[in-house]
Structure 1
């Protein structure tokens, strides 16, 4: 692997989730966007989402079907090994994120709505587990409406040390405070429109948090008020086109300069490009680009390139990003890998 190459870990769905992956794969991208396989980093069952320790060569992975979270330690250029035992999580644990100070990780569970904090030691090993308070549906009005299940989907670490999580089932963004040895304590919550389905988040350097919605295929903008609470300030379409039947929002990522946002849409298989306006307080749909495959579950923006994990077509493709317009050009490169679900650049 050349010195200028980018190594990426790719999460996947494996046979236990009817996927074609074998575990965490290692992929290499050169400065021309060409992609190659660097082999299987470690075999594991449906490591569908990954997070890196901020300073140590440790990777955290969920086992979505196995209802666990586990740490892996990097042992070579593109190899990982299990580090400690798996820790219990919740049903369909679909996301994990790491505290920038390396104190803890947070896992969110689509199946049962749990938000779980795991504390870490100085080696990055998991040492404890605390499940946070359950969500309450703010849109629930009467028993005749039927109860909607809570579906925690992602977490975001805020600069002030708080943690933000989405609940796709209850249309909620929740903000938490971290209390050592006690886990996450509720701070406040932001209610999104009923049926929107907040999924993933990206924080703009202006302080805005952009939340893409799985069901309505939109982007909600939440901003912090002077008193420290976040408020919903706008909801904009993710696409210049209306959603097609069967569409669902996937990942949202920002260009490093904060001028553009990229939202994946499964179904019609698009990457929606939005322009960030008004100093980060607004978004404007700019263009839609075919994702280069089927079912773009996740994508990574890095150093002028967009890498898309197409779960349905068993491949990862690269697009060159125009620095002026923000538009993806390609696909430039493609590599086969089974049921890719998530991409993160290895450190």
Structure 2
């Protein structure tokens, strides 16, 4: 094994056999300055670690086990391997996303299967100390039919992702209830965490908010899985509340039957956003306009594989993880237009579901 600096290391999540995938756990990839990627090996065996997060200051990685309904901390062993740092903690059904608070005080886990949003207190060494469940979601549309089973009244809650906001609050998506939920996290009594619902933002019915990212200007951009749109949640400077702002298409060419949007990411300079669309297998490039309050689609590019579940923008390169074709495809990005060029590199990775740079704490 070789020692890889955190700056050059990318962790990969995967689906394993328990979720119908061919992965074996958390993988490790080395990123070169020229954009190419090199498979290092399996960092840790784990069951369907479908999403990962990195501690902001410690060599600790957190992974949900989607099928096993748990979350676990892993500590880097000095090379590219990871070893468990404490036991697996119970989560909810289909735990699909984990995010770390920028000061390393807590984790947030979102569970697609039962809608739970769970907060986990972290210790000084990055280990998990305790768990607190947030309030359950209530559908703002009452007994609207379930998009996945229209014959049934009522829609299940589907918590899907958490975003650590710049002001210290947390925003989570509920794909089933078309909601953005904003939380304030307090301590006590004692050392325990206490997540308090601050307010909610209701999105158009049936849109399905999935992943989200905050622009440096303060607004939050959300990609909707079902309607294939992008939404801006605008931050009011007076009240501090978010409200529904811009709503527009996520692609330049429009959605096609069978499409479902997946990830949204921002370029480092905040001028462009990138949306992955599964089905038609596209990466859509959107220009940030209206002072950071809206998005305008400018180009759609084939993602280079099948089922682009997740992607990351890193130092002028776009890396796209394809769950079904089992690869990560790398594109150079035009520094002016933001549009991906001809694919530079393709790396075989079994059933990849997430790409998380080891030296970066994602905000979404």
The 1-side partners of 2:334 and 2:132 are apart by 44
For residues 95-133 of structure 1, give each alpha carbon's deviation from its aligned partner in whole angstroms, at most 9, with x where no partner exists. 000000110000000000000000000000000001100
Q: Distance in 1 between matches of 2:105 and 2:30?
A: 30
1-structure distance, mates of 2:9, 2:125:
23
Cα distance in structure 2, aligned partners of 1:81 and 1:8: 16
Larger displacement relative to structure 2 (113-122 or 139-148): 139-148
Secondary structure in 2 aligned to 1:16?
A: helix
Cα distance, 1:4 vs structure 2: 11
SS at match of 1:293: coil
**Other-structure match for 1:311:** 323
> Structure 2: how far apart are the matches of 1:263 and 1:77?
33
Q: 2:84 aligns with which of 55, 69, 82?
A: 82
Aligned to 1:291: 303
Q: Is the 8 A contact 2:232 2:247 kept in 1?
A: yes
1:217 aligned onto 2:228 = yes
Structure 2 distance, partners of 1:298, 1:134, is 27
Distance across 1 between alignment mates of 2:88 and 2:143: 39
Q: In the alignment, what sits opposite 1:279?
A: 291
**Which residue of the partner structure matches residue 197 of structure 1?**
208
Matches within 5 A, 1:72-111: 72-111=74-113
**Between Structure 1 and Structure 2, how many residues are aligned?**
347
Q: Does the 8 A contact of 2:143 with 2:154 survive in 1?
A: no
Cα distance change, pair 47–124 in 1 and its aligned pair in 2 (3 A): same
TM-score by length of 1: 0.97
Q: What are the Cα deviations for residues 3-27 of structure 1, in whole angstroms up to 9, with x where unaligned?
A: 7972100000000001010000001
Q: Is the 8 A contact 1:71 1:84 kept in 2?
A: yes
Residue equivalent to 2:125? 123
Which moved further from structure 2: 236-245 or 100-109? 236-245
Structure 1: unaligned runs, 5 residues or longer: none
Describe the SS at the equivalent of 1:85. Answer: coil
Q: What CA deviation, in whole Å up to 9, does each residue of 1:241-287 have, x standing for no partner? A: 12111100000000000000000000000000000012101110000
More deviation, 180-189/151-160: 180-189
TM-score (ref. length: structure 2): 0.93
In the TM superposition, 1:18-97 aligns within 5 A as: 18-97=20-99
Contact 1:5 1:31 in 2 (8 A): no
Question: 2-side partners of 1:219 and 1:51: how far apart?
Answer: 24
Structure 2 counterparts to residues 151-166 of structure 1, below 5 A: 151-166=158-173
What is the RMSD computed on CA atoms of the aligned residues? 1.5
Point out the more displaced range, 31-40 or 308-317. Answer: 31-40
4+ residue runs over 6 A deviation: 1-5, 142-145
**Residue deviations 1:294-331, cap 9 Å, x none?**
00000000100000000010011111011011001121
